[in-house]
Amino acid sequence: MKKQSKKFTEAQSKVEDKFYKIDEAIKLAKEVSFAKFDETVDLAFRLGVDPRHADQMIRGAIALPAGTGKSVRVCVITSGDKIKAAEEAGADFVGGDDLVAKIAGGWLEFDRVIASPDMMGKLGRIGRVLGPRGLMPNPKLGTVTPDVAKAVEEQKAGKVEYRTEKNGIIHVPIGKKSFDEAKIRQNLNAIVNAIVKAKPASSKGTYLKSLTLSTTMGPGIKVDTQEALSLAN
């Protein structure tokens, strides 16, 4: 078992074993963070779903209102006049067959891939490269679209993807430690609202079992799930 660092132990000692109101949790997470870098603020949901069943797999994407604080490298695979549109929207890499071949050769210097529908047939050859890394474009996530310019702008502005992992867990980044509390709260409200509203009809019993807030290196802080549920509108 890995030994906890002195700084982590000290931070953890400041977190009580109780459910914190959202604003209290955000304030505490910032106070107990101790890393020298700008840590990511993460929200972890434990849901009453079984992701082995397709109708209970929660997956989607949302543009966080206050952004993520992270620079995202966007690769767009498209053709024709959409190439210029993607470039003007701020895409880092734009192309067609040339980019497909480059990725097939092992190039992966990007964080998101957007494709226009006409190029999806050609992405089959790199599915084994992109799929395991969660980079394969998907219409449900807005990364397969004829409006590639809009998709680029959303990704650059702070669009995050989420999906249910094993045991019904979803991890979502909602900002940086350097964000003021209001911005973190703004992003938290948006993602909680999206996931609560995504409850599948086949999910029985308690849907939002637990909600935990933490920074990259910091301890987990339990959040009041009833307050979180009240955010859905």
| HEC readout, 55-124 | HHCCEEEEECCCCCCCCCCEEEECCCCHHHHHHHHCCCEEECHHHHHHHHCCCCCCCEEEECHHHHHHHH
- Whole-prediction pTM value? 0.81
Q: Are residues 63 and 165 in the same domain?
A: yes
Range of the domain at 121: 74-157
Q: Is residue 168 left, alpha or beta, with left meaning phi > 0 and alpha meaning psi from -120 to 50?
A: left
Domain boundary among 131, 157, 183: 157
Q: Is residue 58 part of a domain?
A: yes
Domain end call among 113, 130, 157: 157
In a domain, 5, yes or no: no
pLDDT single digits (tens) 149-200: 999 999 998 889 899 998 899 999 999 999 999 999 999 999 999 999 999 9
Domain boundary among 128, 157, 186: 157
CATH number, position 224: 3.30.190.20
151 in the same domain as 80: yes
Count of H-run helices and E-run strands, the chain: 8, 9
Rounded to a whole number of angstroms, the CA Rg of the chain reads 19
| Same-domain check for residues 61 and 85 | no
% of the chain with per-residue pLDDT over 90: 74
pLDDT digits (tens, 9 = 90+) for 61-112: 898 999 998 888 999 999 999 999 999 999 999 999 999 999 999 999 999 9
> How many domains does the chain divide into?
2
Q: What angle do CA 133, 139, 141 make, to 5 degrees?
A: 60
Residues 93 and 121 in one domain: yes
Q: Give how far the C-alpha of residue 221 lies from the chain's centroid of Cα atoms, to the nearest Å.
A: 19
